[in-house]
Structure 1
Amino acid sequence: MEEVYFKDDCLTLYYNRQHQTVRAVWNGFLSGETLRQAIEQCTRLLDEEKPLYWLADNRKMKAIRQKDQEWIQAYLVPKIVASSLRKMATLVSEDIFNRMAIENLFVRAHDQIKFDHQYFKNEKEATQWLDEKYSMMSQWQ
């Protein structure tokens, strides 16, 4: 069962303990301290619950300033690289500048990220992909 882990005007974090799945629903333009506080809630959830799967619903999220992108790269990327995540699905934003910023972050972190990541426009397809077994490799570990 999905429960609300955190909620404010910009971000709602849902967590399903049984399936070890997070759904992060972003809303609007976030910058500076507001963005940092929201991302710190995400990293707190990563640290406390050790989820395996993450759905980033960015459809209503707006552009991310360059300065904030740099902070995300320095602060968040090392945390998600070291996290328990096995798969992340991103529902792409309606805002072209947000899409470009998020894609750029993943491109720059590509060599570090050890989990599967895919972009989706459709929530049903994203959740179906997350529900699939992690990989054939996981059967051998």
Structure 2
Amino acid sequence: MESLHYLQLETDRLHRMIVLHWQDFVPSEVYREGLLEAIQVSRKEHLLSWVMDMKHMKVIRQADQEWTLSTWFPQFQLLGVKRLAFVVSDDIFNQMAVSSMVAALRPKFHAEVEYFQESTTALRWAQENTGGLSDFSLFSVK
């Protein structure tokens, strides 16, 4: 499947987290399907933290930015995500696109949003969400 080159979805059930590893110049179809699939997985697994690892991703098309704001974000809001971490791209045009989208959405965000240079620090921060397995009172793993 060609989309695996552009996006890998990874879930961490222990920390109730999903990680989207993006790379290269992502075709619109892959970008949109990937974000919608992440919403489905997040909803099904009750994931509370998202990490958007965009370190190796190139620019996001204007049409995809508009789609993200108008179509994807309202669905994302319904998930109840507590933390959204962005690993900043090396590509300045991607940085500008992400900054622009987050600035437009910032007043509507219910989640904490942070930017990171490295995925390890983003993952660590996202794992600190207040959900975790403590929500399940019968079997708590520490």
What TM-score comes out, normalization by structure 1 length?
0.84
- Structure 2 residue 7 is matched with structure 1 residue 11: yes
Which residue of structure 1 lines up, in the alignment, with residue 82 of structure 2?
86
Cα deviation digits, residues 100-139 of structure 1 (max 9, x gap): 11111111011111010100002222122223354xxxxx
Aligned residues: 128
Higher strand proportion (structure 1 or 2): 1
Post-superposition offset of 1:14: 0.5
How far apart, in 2, do the equivalents of 1:104 and 1:47 lie?
Answer: 26
Q: Root-mean-square deviation (CA), in Å?
A: 1.5
Which residue of structure 1 lines up, in the alignment, with residue 18 of structure 2?
22
Which residue of structure 2 lines up, in the alignment, with residue 4 of structure 1?
none
Which residue of structure 2 lines up, in the alignment, with residue 122 of structure 1?
118
Runs of 5+ unmatched residues, structure 1: 1-6, 135-141
Which residue of structure 2 lines up, in the alignment, with residue 102 of structure 1?
98
How far apart, in 2, do the equivalents of 1:75 and 1:28 lie?
Answer: 23
Q: Which amino acid aligns with 1:109?
A: L
How far apart, in 1, do the equivalents of 2:94 and 2:65 lie?
Answer: 10
How far apart, in 2, do the equivalents of 1:31 and 1:112 lie?
Answer: 27
Higher helix proportion (structure 1 or 2): 2
Which structure is higher in RCO with an 8 Å CA cutoff and minimum separation 6?
2
Q: Which amino acid aligns with 1:71?
A: W
Match of 2:31 among 20, 23, 35: 35
- Structure 2 residue 66 is matched with structure 1 residue 70: yes
Q: Which amino acid aligns with 2:29?
A: E
- Structure 2 residue 54 is matched with structure 1 residue 52: no
Cα deviation digits, residues 27-58 of structure 1 (max 9, x gap): 11113222222222112112211201111100
Post-superposition offset of 1:9: 1.5
What TM-score comes out, normalization by structure 2 length?
0.83
Identity %: 28
